[in-house]
Amino acid sequence: MDISGHLVIVTGGGSGLGAATARHLAAKGAGVAIFDFDMARAGAVAQEIGGRAYRVDVGDDAAVGDAVAQALSDAQGSLRAVVNCAGIADAARVVRRDGMPSSDVFARVIRVNLIGSFNVMAHGVAAMQKLAPLEGGERGVIVNTSSAAWQDGQVGQAAYAASKGGIAALSLPVARDLARNAIRCVAIAPGLFRTPMMEALPQETTDAITANIPFPARLGDPAEFAAMVGHIIENAYLNGTTIRLDGATRLPPK
């Protein structure tokens, strides 16, 4: 699919992987609607790329529906892609040091990462399926963000790994579900990337982390994630799978 002239929704587009993706797709001529809980950051990126920003709690289905409707109303083109990058990485062991279960953390992470991705995907598909097919027959594409942690979850990442594992597991059944509508679904499972969260770590911690990455032995560049998103959108035969983007790293237990 040539995304030029079409609308793309990017969640979590105010920073990190989402911001890089928003910039990359805008450079390809897409109209970009950024959904983010942090309106200041989202607004700054939207202004930079000529897109629009919407303050959205992706875990709130009604709010997502309203935001998608508003983005469609504001758009100059039809919605052809949704890229889910919004997420949180709250960590906690199953039982805290005080002896209490971390059920609240688990529920919060699942709500934002997994349910939030589903909400935006579902409302996006509802709009895409009404469109006429493009040349080549497809109507749209969904790109979700999993994580290498869905296979290599570390200590304290039960909630995060479960949420990202759920996103990876969605790819095939959703692709099969949407095949009749000619809409694809693919997930990317990034490894260790240079995001604000990683950049906040002490240098010695970053050095220890990158020592486990075979090649290239460095943190991933968000632009590399964005390039993968762009390729998925353009390559019509990519569907129903989860792609690890991680420099061949496998995360240690902790």
What's residue 201's pLDDT?
65
Yes or no: is domain 7-191+221-245 CATH 3.40.50.720? yes
Active-site annotation holds for 237: no
Please tell me the pTM assigned to this model: 0.94
Query: Over the stretch 8-66, which tens digit does the pLDDT of each residue have?
Result: 999 999 999 999 999 999 999 999 999 999 999 999 999 999 999 999 999 999 999 99
Catalytic option among 106, 160, 193, 225: 160
Give percent of the chain with pLDDT exceeding 90: 84
Q: For residues 141 and 183, give the distance between their C-alpha atoms in angstroms, rounded to a whole number.
A: 5
pLDDT in tens, 140-186: 999 999 999 899 888 889 999 999 999 999 999 999 999 999 999 99
pLDDT digit string, tens, across residues 211-226: 889 999 999 999 999 9
Q: Mean of the pLDDT values across residues 95-101?
A: 91
Q: Lowest-confidence range among 99-103, 137-141, 226-230, 241-245?
A: 99-103
Question: What does the buried/exposed string (b/e) look like for 146-173 if buried means 16 or more CB atoms within 10 Å of the residue's CB?
Answer: bbbbbbbbeebbbbbbbbbbbbbebbee
Here the tokens at position 221 are 């560049």
In this prediction, residue 208 carries a pLDDT of 76
Helix, coil or strand: residue 7? strand
Peptide bond preceding 216: is omega within 30 degrees of 0, i.e. cis? yes
